[in-house]
Amino acid sequence: MPKTKNKGLLVIALVAILAAATTVNYKLSEKSNTASTDTNKSGVINAELVNNSYSEEDVMTSATGVDSKFFSEYRTQRENTRSQNISLLEGIVSDSTSTSDMVKNAQQEIINLTKLSEKEMVVENLIKAKGFKDVIVFIHEGYVNVVVDATQLTTAQASQIQDVAVKECSVEASKVCIAVSKAK
């Protein structure tokens, strides 16, 4: 019985470490003035992006234009964060003291992260195939934010982007928010 209890505590500790690592990553990239962020906007948007330069909220509300480096830098940061999270989960899977439930949960979370990465990549590539230079997609539970490397969009272009996001992410059209980078 004590071994089972210790294994349960180990799972809780590892999950807490994973959550803490993710939180710390976001906190380290926050801008110093995020204390005034309005949380009553359309959905909770709290992720900070790329070298303290852009918050998802600023990008999506067009409060801040982004340059073309934003897209590649954000993609790199997103991949690094996910790799760290997957490494922590793989540690749980390979730990001989992990219970079968711990291993099962860690494996499921690895699968979920992999599916999310794949879905973001598919949506981004489908939107690029519509003729856009670059795009970043933020998939959240119940809504999708899209940032397109363009100064403006026509109604037809916005509709194309929305259609891709709705189809691939299984969300309602009203849950897709599209922003432009304002890059020149």
Average pLDDT, the chain: 76
Residue 170 to residue 94: CA distance in whole angstroms: 34
Q: Is the pLDDT of residue 28 over 50?
A: no
Return the closest-CA partner of residue 105 out of 37, 180, 183, 7: 7
Which residues lie across from 147 on neighbouring strands?
136, 179
Determine the average pLDDT of the residues in 69-81: 89
Domain boundaries, the chain: 2-29+50-180
Residue 15 to residue 98: CA distance in whole angstroms: 12
Mind listing the pLDDT tens digit for each residue in 91-150? 999 999 989 999 999 999 999 999 999 999 999 999 999 999 999 999 988 899 999 998
pTM, entire model:
0.64
Fold of domain 2-29+50-180: Helix Hairpins (1.10.287)
Amino acid identity for residue 157 in this structure:
Q
Residue 180 to residue 151: CA distance in whole angstroms: 6
Q: What was the pLDDT predicted at 67?
A: 72
Per DSSP, the three-state class of 167 is helix
